[in-house]
Amino acid sequence: MKLTWLGHSAFRIEIAGATILIDPFLTGNPSFKGDVAAVGEGVTHILLTHGHGDHVGDAVAIAKASGAKIVADADLASFLASRGAPAVDPMNSGGTTDQGAFRVSLTVAHHSSGFLDENGVLHSLGHPHGVVIRAPGERTLYHAGDTDIFSDMALIDEIYQPKIGILPIGDRFTMGGAVAALAARRFFHFETVLPCHYGTFPMIDATADAFVDAMQGSDTAVLVPAVGEILTL
């Protein structure tokens, strides 16, 4: 698996038979300095954790350019289809779908999900989620989306047994670094964990330091990639 952090909560994941984007907030993302078209090249699937603009981002534009399928909460998928997404695959909490090269499951997250349109109308876009990606020959990956800590993370670990975790750490809108580290240590058996949802806007934490410090002494490998850095996991 090749994984690239694109800033904020956006990731590009390459596995045999599929290239996946998670929460492709690129345009307007101050930490992303790359080319949107280049990131979208060859993408087959776009997975969305929830409907906020800093997660949906360029999903529809990339889907139109690449033909990628958008996989998301049913309400969000329907909304994006009405906005021109060429192919959507609706899901909901606890469900799993077979995407050919991988299976994706949606887990509970504690957050909100909505979109304020150009006319000032607030659209409720279903539930926020985490996503689990399971592919043959790869370690299972869990992207928690935007969330606080919750004790049922232990059930996510028991059911899906993720070995790679991606957790939000920026505070204010999600759990902060120390709490995210508590989640990783108490509820999961990750082999590798990466922080996200930080360093983007002044209102959230600028660095991953609090998370890294709180993970000291854990057996879990903590990776803090630079934006645009490609990791092989």
* Cα separation, 143 vs 9, whole angstroms: 9
Query: Considering all CA atoms of the chain, what is the largest pairwise distance in Å, rounded to the nearest integer?
Result: 50
Topology annotation, domain 2-225: Metallo-beta-lactamase; Chain A (3.60.15)
Look up the pTM and report it.
0.98
* Sheet containing 45-47: order of strands: 88-91, 69-73, 45-47, 18-22, 11-15, 2-5, 230-232
Q: What does the pLDDT read at residue 79?
A: 96
User: Do residues 164 and 233 touch, judged by C-beta distance below 8 A?
Assistant: yes
pLDDT tens for each residue of 136-147: 999 999 999 999
CB 71 within 8 A of CB 41: no
* Interval 30-45 mean pLDDT: 97
Residue found by looking up tokens 């606080």 in the block: 148
- The whole-angstrom separation of Cα 181 and Cα 105 is 23
For the segment 182-187, the average pLDDT, to the nearest whole number, is 98
DSSP character string of 123-152:
EE----EEEEEE-TTS--EEE--S----TT
Average pLDDT over residues 102-121: 95
Domain boundaries, the chain: 2-225
CA atoms within 13 A on the CB side of 87: 14
The distance of Cα 66 from the centroid of its chain, to the nearest Å, equals 20
